[in-house]
Structure 1
C-alpha cells in the first residue's frame, strides 16, 4: 500500500474561541479522499498560563460534536514533547488545534517515486499571501 506524505498544522485561537467552522471543511477533505486524519489534539493555555492537552476522544461530547462526521485513525501520534513545544508558543488565554494528516491524494505519486529509487529532497509550502503577491506582480 502506498502512503502519501504526512503533514501537520497548528491553528491558534486567541481567547480560546474555537467555533467549529473548520470541521466541515476538514470533513469534506476526508470524504473526498484528499486527506486521512491521523491525529487531532487540542492545547489550551488559560489566562494564568496553565496548559492542558486534550485528545479528540477526550473532548466534552458537546465540543467534540463538530467532529462527529470526520472519520480517521485519530490518536496519540503527537509526543508530549511535541505538545509542550507548541504550548510554549501560545500566549495566555488561547488554544490551538494540532492536526496530523496523510495527503492521500499524493500516495500514488509517493509510491511511484519510492519504487523508482527516488527520494524527496525538498518540500515546502508557499504561503497563500506570497502566491497572491506573485500573481499581482505578474499582471
Structure 2
C-alpha cells in the first residue's frame, strides 16, 4: 500500500514461535492463521516448522502442498516463503524449545494497521518507539488491579 506521498506503507512486522508438545501439529492453529490472512488482518511472510528431538538435535520439516501428515494445516501456508528466515533463525528458535516438541516460527505483518500507519505518515507522524507486552502479563496486571479495587 502507498500513502499520499507514494511511499510504501507497511504495518508492524512481528514474529512468533509457537511450540507444540508431542511433535503434534494438530488442531485449529493453522486454520485460524489462514483465516487471519484471508480476512486481510495479517500477511504471513515466512513460516518454518522446527523440531527438537529428545536428544536435543534440531531439524526442519518441509512445509509444502501435500505435507499435511508432517505439518498439519500449516501445509496450506506453503506459499509463505519470503526468505526472511534463515537456518540461524531456526536454530535460535530451537534454543527456546523443549526437547520432543515442534514449533511454528512465523513472521507476519499486521496488515490491519496499514491504514492507520498511512494516516499517521500523511499527518507527518513517525513511529519512534514500540513494543509488545505478553498477554499473560497484561491479564495478571488487570487481575491484580481488580483485586486491589475490590473492598
Match of 1:13 in 2: 20
CA-atom RMSD in angstroms: 2.5
Match of 1:3 in 2: 10
Is 1:51 aligned to residue 63 of structure 2? no
Q: Which has the larger radius of gyration?
A: 2
Is 1:60 aligned to residue 67 of structure 2? yes
Match of 1:74 in 2: 80
User: What is the aligned residue count?
Assistant: 138
Q: Gaps (5+ residues) in structure 2?
A: 2-8
Question: Higher relative contact order by CA 8 Å / sep ≥ 6: 1 or 2?
Answer: 1
Q: How does 1:35-46 map to 2 (within 5 A)?
A: 35-46=42-53
Q: TM-score, normalised by structure 2?
A: 0.76
Q: Gaps (5+ residues) in structure 1?
A: none
Q: TM-score, normalised by structure 1?
A: 0.81
